[in-house]
Amino acid sequence: MTRLPPPHPGLTDGPVHLDYNATTPVDPRVVQAMLPHLTGHFGNPSSTHAYGGEPRRALTAARAQVAELIGAGPGEIVFTASGSEADLLALRGATLAAARTRPHVITQATEHPAVLATCQALERLHGARITVLPVDREGLVDPAVLTAALDDDTVLVSVMAANNETGALQPVRELADAAHRAGALFHCDAAQAAGKIPLDVRESGVDLLTVVGHKMYAPKGIAALFVREGVRLEPVVYGGGQERGLRAGTENVALAVALGAAARLAADDLAGGALRRIGELRDELHHRLVDALPGRVRLNGPADRRLPNTLNIGIDGVPGHRLLDGAPRIAASTGSACHSGTRTPSPVLTAMGIDPARALEAVRLSLGRWTTRDEILEAATAIAASATATGTPNSFSARAR
């Protein structure tokens, strides 16, 4: 039987939190691990005197814990302040270190904005040539399409492990192999995947991989980049020799310790079957909604090849924001963005070929460590009631099916 985690004080009597892909509550065990480094152990880990010893040892241990979660060596872990910074270090670092006149970088259409915006900046500021690959109806990149896009100037391919909206799992090993055959490096943003599915940088063949703390029960403001030994990167912050010279500045020991503790707990979850429990709850939520709203619930993304905690659905005739407005006890997210009162559909879903009108109906429900069956029952009831009260089947969706 899967052992449940200790209760989380921040979730007591609040709305049902089904937005774990946006951010996770900080695990109280992670807080306990980092507290000594916010109070007593104040020293600089680079100092050679007594006050630097404990921070230095803690930083080394945290690096080893993060490395163990993804099958890396401790010396291959570089701490950063966010996943966006880790992505920047990977993309900008690899592109500039390649020293090509017009380096070629390849990514894909449903990638996180941290990667897509960095690619645009590389094109604008450094003359890089950028290729954005299409995805299929499930949001997946075809390795054959990547192979066709590679050329002699390609220095880097960046494709995420799991999509934050649909949970779609990319064929990372096949994509990395294709990149390597062309002599290019392969970067993988694993912000959503780390701690939710097994990751092994040796087996997957990636050269660079991003891990983000606040997606796996650590505080915001800490992340890490795996940099395979021998891979050359241009630093993202210049100065001292911290983090292998790639990110100068005195390390945030407390947050690094938090990420290490979170990585250890994530490894325990993977080994103990906690993710199986979450997957079963996700599927129960889906089935209850389908039963309550026959013929109206559509799954966005793969049925099987996705994260065990992620359910992205559209309910026929109900815009996602209105659905959630009608279920205020459910904390979830839509795939749309609101600009000056006008809503635009998710670029991820439209890149998958989903009509914009249907994409506006999308709601992402993402479960996590503290999700209970009682919460799933409450969510299914509230969402079905909101859908019934808010909308009716529309002719477009009926024709689309």
Q: Report whether 302 contacts 168 (CB < 8 A).
A: yes
Q: What is the DSSP letter of 164?
A: T
Amino acid at position 275, single letter = L
Asked if residue 312 lies in contact with residue 301, where contact means CB atoms within 8 angstroms, the answer is: yes
The span from the CA of 177 to the CA of 191, in Å, is: 21
Mind giving me the DSSP string for 71-111?
T--GGGEEEES-HHHHHHHHHHHHHHHTT-SS-EEEEETT-
**Residue 224, strand partner residues:** 79, 211
Q: How many residues make up the chain in this entry?
A: 401
Residue 165 phi, psi dihedral angles, 5° rounding: -95, -45
Cα–Cα dist 64/75, whole Å: 8
249 neighbors 80 (Cβ within 8 angstroms) = no
3-state helix, strand, coil in the chain (%, to 5): 45, 15, 40
Instruction: Please check whether residue 150 is in contact with residue 182, taking contact to mean a CB–CB distance below 8 angstroms.
Output: yes
- Tokens of residue 52, six digits: 């630097």
- 148, 271, 338, 389: which is the annotated catalytic residue? 338
Q: Residue 349: which of 358, 339, 337 has the closest Cα?
A: 358
Q: Where are the beta strands (DSSP E) in 48-202?
A: 77-80, 104-108, 129-133, 154-158, 185-189
Other C-beta atoms closer than 10 Å to the C-beta of 253 total 25
Closest CA to 16 of 378, 401, 400: 378
Q: How many CB atoms lie within 10 A of CB 66?
A: 29
Q: Quick one: tokens of 102?
A: 């017009």
> Could you give the CA distance from residue 28 to residue 12 in angstroms, rounded to a whole number?
13
- Residue 338 designated active-site: yes
Question: Cα angle vertex 332, ends 327, 336, to 5°?
Answer: 100
Map residue 332 onto helix, strand or coil: coil
Catalytic residue positions, numbered: 338
